[in-house]
Structure 1
Amino acid sequence: MANNVLETVIGAVVIAVAAIFVIFMYRTADIAPSDGYMLQAKFNSVNGVNTGADVRMSGIKIGSVVSTELEQPSLLAVVKMNIRDGVGIPDDSAVRVLADGLMGGTFLSVEPGGGIDNLKAGDQFQFAQGSVNLIDLVGQAIYSSGKSE
């Protein structure tokens, strides 16, 4: 009888620790649904940008990517993002795809413009710069450094 009680207590402790771990990960991973407004941008290339990627302004996370899809007529990548309430983005702001170092993940960086009016829910960024392929840049630097005759 003592073994059954001990096993039950140990099982309850394991379940409690697992529940605490799941709650901790849910909060720190920032995957909880958040209030905010939706914006979108169209890019030529969004290599590495996945659902859940950060949207940052001045290095501070202000939102996250909700979806990426291919627009059929133009063949541009359409990225929809959720921006935290209370963050105003001027309507002439630009967004671009950046990488966190050579081995880091990619994120969207919003560079605020000087406009008076802010983007509203459902609006689209006018200026968007896609990702840059570092391997292509290195290749261009190597092959363009040769002497021309």
Structure 2
Amino acid sequence: MRTIIFRTIAPYLAALMILFSIFVLLRGHNEPGGGFIGGLIAASALAIYGIACGVAAVRRAIVVHPMSVAAFGLFIAALAGLPSLFFKQSFMTTQFAAFPFFGTKVELMTPMLFDLGVYFVVVGAIASIALALEERESD
């Protein structure tokens, strides 16, 4: 299914899907969405791009190995629980931090850090599986 139309549209579609996955990630806990669903959308974008342009093009686009992305995400997700230990609370208890940002107060929370870690784990793991299957199919 490597028609000229699909190869032309796939990079734009993948970029839109990545942007939408970031939107879904940032919706997080307040509304439906979060790291897992956002990661699935981003991994689907990489799979579509891989089907259209080949696995080598996807590997050039993401620069690092997908399993390294997953390992980084696991590290970030585990790191989200450490602030609660500093305050002698249960592991993964939500912590807040407020920072001034151009005249407004921006609140950062540890669940957002955890969602970001889950996002990277899902993108890395699913992209690794999809790229392996696409390489196997092209051989």
TM-score of the superposition, structure 2-length normalised? 0.24
Higher relative contact order (CA 8 A, sep 6+): 2
Q: Which is higher, the Rg of structure 1 or of structure 2?
A: 1
Q: Which structure shows the higher helix fraction?
A: 2
Q: Which structure shows the higher strand fraction?
A: 1
